[in-house]
Structures are given as C-alpha cells and as structure tokens.
C-alpha cells in the first residue's frame, strides 16, 4: 500500500514547481470564451486582527485605506465587465468582507447589475453576526460563511481570537441567532492545530451540531513557512501524525447528520448547497488585491500591493502582477484533483473535454490511486472515492493550498520590502497577534 505521506510529499514538490509564477504586469484579462461559465471571486484584505495561521493577503484595518480600496474594487469590477465576462455566482472572501457593511453592499449590488449575479457567498467573522448584518445581507447573500475555526476557548486564546470574537459559547449563541436568515449558513472549522486533541474536536463538533448551521467546512490546517514559524511561537510545532485519525473522527461523527459535498465540506442531509468557488466552477475570475484567476489554463495573480492595485486600476489596467501557464498535462491533473475533491469524476465529460479517456490521459495517476485503494467506483461513467481516497484528496488539497500560501508569502515579502509604512503596520499587528 502506497502511504499518504509519499503522495503528499510528491505533490508538494510538484505544486511548488507548478506555482512558480512569472512576475509581469499584465494589463488585461483574456476575453471570456463563448459558452463557458465562470465564477467571480472578490477579495477584501482588511482585518481587525491578523490571525497567526492565515496566509491570505490581509492588512490591519484602516477605514480611510479600506474605503479607498473598495472604490478601486468597484472600478476593477467595471474593467472586468468591459472584457465581456458574465457570472452567475459571486464569492466574497478575505480578510473580513463585512468590515465595512455599506461598502460591501455596494459591491454586491454593483456585481448584480454588471454581471447578472444570482448566487452570493460571503465570509464573515463571529463578532459581525448581529441584526444589522441580517438586515443588510439576508436579501443579498444566499450562503453566509462564518470563520469560527474552533469553539475551544483555550485554542481561541492562543491564536488571539478569544478577546476579539468572544468565547466558544458566545460564538455559538451568535450563530444560532442568525440561523434561518440565509439559504445556507456555513461554519468554517480547522482541525490539526498543535495540541488540538480528539476531545477538543468532539466538543467542536457537538457545538457545531447545536449551532443550527446547515453546512460545515472542516479544513485541515494549511501552512506556509511563515505560518509555521508564527504558530510555533504561539501554540507549537505543526505535524501531521494525527491528521488522518482526526479526519476519520470528524467524518464518523458528522455522517449521521450531514452528507459530504466535498472531501471536507458537510451539508445537512437533504440539502444541495452551493460550495467553494474553486469546486463549483472550473474557471474563475478573481478581483481585488491578492486574488487569483484561473482562465484558459493559466493562473493569474493580482498584485498584493494596495498602492499598485489602486494605481493600476485607476489607470484603466488590470492589476495582474504574475502569471503561470499550465501545460495540458498540468491542466488535466488539476481537473482530476478538483473533480475527485468534489467526490465524483464524470468520465464521459472528461472524454468530451480532453478527447481521450482519463486512463490514457493520466495513466500514472490512475495506477497510483488504484494501488492506494482510493476508488470506490471506477466504471465507464464515473469515479468515486473510498474513505481512504477522500482522505488522500484532503492531503493533496492541503498541499496544493499550502503551495498557494507560499506564493502569497513571496508576494507579501515584496510588498513589505517596497512599502515601509505597510510593513510597519503589518508587523505591529502581527506582534499583537
């Protein structure tokens, strides 16, 4: 039996090569392809505190800078519309998208007008769950995702969330108060923090069940070198020796109440809920500083610099600072991973899209997955996964996102070196965290 560690190590090295971006200011997105559907992601990079486990592009909240940023974000939406893109779905992440509610409302309403958006997903923090949020967003947002991470007070204290967002019991009450106001209420939780044992996971699951949320996204801890260093200072060394056991515990405890939508997303039984943008749509456009787009086999990364972002957008050019073209083989591997992460690969659609069966396109990968016991079903129509296969996809996606976090680390270092004021503010916030 091939060990998961061999898969994850191999994939980590391959991802680092794959995501080696070429710096370049690309002034326009490629035009959309006729008949192809796309998803829109919008990034809001401001937070009241900077959590030590997060590698996303984020900055300490400053109202003046944030309002300038939202203005530039609206301009980028206009530029995207001029390129001819339309979208059914918008996902707004961060950072903290709800940090300025009036600005967020303008973004959602503009996106609806420009692109015909019908479904909106938006992230938020527990302390923003109040009547104002429900009144502003319940008619605009179909899926609200709350970044809880854990209900454990000890862990919340160590990652500097207890004082700002309240205790696990307080967070639970806030979630219960907004349950029912949105088509889908999702809770984001993280497992495999240093020191997070089975008892902590058991209690987190029990409180999540009591929350009345109809979706749970239970991520493994995903780290970059900078995140590992920060976590070592706060809660301990990151290891993966308990990850498989914790994942099995989570699946077993949640399966009586939830169905798996992806390898790490659980939806209440009988509900067909919208999910993460990278799974729902193969290609997507990212707007905002530090966002990613995947189009026509290429990955585009927007500048992480707020200054360059605003300058480039105000001059009428796209704020793209890096690009990586995927080979046809890389595109097939990416599609293979994403479809299996979504728990089913449609073999007939694969044949139609690539002109050959998946066995011929990816013979090495198919043999390796068979050897590890990953396939529950592998017939003429589809591939589905065993429990072992689901965990394998968790490890591969963890390594993929960790590699993306390394790209974010690199981009952030460039910003901190070139913009001393941003560097000083960010380091001060990190020190407080």
Pairing of strands 39-44, 89-94: parallel
Q: Tell me the mean pLDDT in the region 383-392.
A: 97
Question: Domain limits of the chain?
Answer: 22-282, 328-385
Evaluate if residue 228 carries a pLDDT over 80.
no
CB 164 within 8 A of CB 47: no
Q: What is the pLDDT of residue 49?
A: 82
Mean pLDDT calculated for residue range 188-214: 96
Flag the least confident range among 39-53, 113-127, 276-290. Answer: 276-290
Q: Check residue 5 and give left, alpha or beta (phi > 0: left; psi -120 to 50: alpha).
A: alpha
CA distance 120 to 89: 6
CA angle 246, 251, 256 (to 5 degrees): 140
Look at residue 250 in the predicted model and tell me its pLDDT: 98
d(CA 106, CA 261): 31
Calculate the dihedral angle through the C-alpha atoms of 201, 202, 205, 209, rounding to the nearest 10 degrees: -170
Cis link prior to 95 (omega < 30° from 0)? Answer: yes
Q: What is the pTM of this model?
A: 0.88
Residues 6+ apart with CB under 8 A from 431: none
Q: Look at 324 and 432; give whichever has higher pLDDT.
A: 324
Are 39 and 338 contacting, i.e. CB atoms less than 8 angstroms apart?
A: no
Query: What's the pLDDT band for 109 if we cut at 50, 70, 90?
Result: very high
User: Taking 50 as the threshold, does the pLDDT of residue 175 lie above it?
Assistant: yes
| In the predicted structure, residue 22 carries a pLDDT above the cut 60 | yes
Q: What is the CA radius of gyration of the chain?
A: 21
- At residue 11, the pLDDT reads 41
241-278 pLDDT per residue, tens = 999 999 999 999 999 999 999 999 999 987 655 555 44
Q: What CATH number does the domain located at 22-282 have?
A: 3.80.30.20
| Average pLDDT over all residues of the chain | 87
- Rounded-to-integer distance, Cα 421 and Cα 285, Å: 30
For 292-302, what is each residue's pLDDT tens digit? Answer: 999 999 989 89
Element (H, E) at 121: strand 119-124
| 384: pLDDT strictly greater than 90 | yes
What does the pLDDT read at residue 269?
Answer: 83
Residue 184 has pLDDT above 60, yes or no: yes
Give the pLDDT band (50/70/90) at residue 411: low
- Provide the pLDDT for residue 410: 63
d(CA 330, CA 14): 10
Structure tokens at 244: 């498989």
Tokens at 363, concatenated:
């013979």
CA 136, CA 234: separation in Å to the nearest integer?
Answer: 36
- φ/ψ (deg, to 5) at 285: -110, 130
Q: Determine contact, residues 395/4, Cβ cutoff 8 Å.
A: yes
Q: What is the pLDDT of residues 361-382, one digit of tens each?
A: 999 999 999 999 999 999 999 9
175 Cβ contact partners less than 8 Å away, ≥ 6 residues apart: 126, 129, 146, 148, 185, 187, 211, 212, 213
């Amino acid at each position: 039996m091939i060990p998961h560690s061999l898969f994850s190590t191999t994939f980590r090295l391959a991802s680092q090569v794959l995501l080696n971006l070429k710096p370049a200011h690309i002034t326009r997105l490629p035009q959309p392809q006729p008949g192809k559907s796309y998803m829109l992601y919008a990034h809001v990079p401001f937070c009241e505190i900077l959590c030590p486990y997060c590698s996303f592009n984020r900055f300490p909240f400053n109202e003046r800078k944030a309002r300038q940023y939202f203005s530039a974000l609206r301009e980028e939406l206009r530029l995207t519309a001029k390129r001819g893109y339309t979208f059914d779905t918008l996902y707004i992440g961060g950072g903290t998208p709800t940090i300025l509610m009036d600005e967020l409302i303008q973004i959602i309403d503009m996106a609806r007008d420009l692109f015909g958006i019908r479904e909106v997903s938006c992230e938020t923090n527990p302390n923003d769950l109040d009547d104002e949020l429900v009144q502003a967003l319940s008619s605009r947002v179909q899926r609200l995702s709350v970044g809880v991470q854990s209900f454990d007070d000890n862990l919340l204290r160590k990652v500097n969330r207890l004082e700002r967002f309240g205790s696990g019991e307080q967070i639970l009450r806030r979630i219960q108060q907004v349950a029912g106001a949105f088509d889908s209420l999702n809770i984001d939780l993280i497992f495999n923090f240093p020191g997070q044992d089975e008892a902590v996971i058991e209690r987190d699951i029990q409180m999540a069940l009591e929350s009345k949320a109809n979706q749970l996204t239970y991520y493994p801890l995903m780290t970059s070198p900078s995140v590992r260093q920060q976590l070592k200072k706060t809660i301990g060394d990151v290891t993966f020796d308990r990850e498989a056991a914790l994942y099995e515990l989570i699946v077993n405890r949640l399966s009586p109440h939830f169905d798996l939508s992806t390898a790490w997303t659980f939806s209440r039984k009988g509900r067909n809920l919208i999910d993460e943008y990278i799974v729902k749509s193969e290609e997507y456009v990212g707007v905002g500083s530090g966002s990613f787009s995947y189009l026509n086999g290429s990955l585009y990364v927007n500048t992480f610099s707020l200054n360059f972002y605003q300058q480039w957008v105000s001059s009428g050019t796209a704020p793209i600072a890096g690009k990586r073209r995927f080979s046809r083989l890389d595109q097939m591997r990416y599609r293979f991973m994403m479809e299996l992460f979504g728990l089913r690969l449609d073999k007939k659609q694969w044949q139609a899209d690539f002109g050959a069966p998946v066995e011929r396109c990816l013979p090495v990968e198919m043999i390796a997955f068979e050897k590890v016991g990953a396939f529950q079903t592998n017939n003429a129509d589809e591939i589905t996964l065993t429990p072992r296969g689901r965990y394998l996809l968790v490890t591969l996606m963890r390594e993929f996102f960790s590699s993306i976090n390394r790209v974010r680390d690199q981009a952030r270092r460039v910003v901190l070196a070139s913009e001393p004021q941003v560097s000083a503010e960010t380091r001060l916030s990190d020190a407080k965290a």
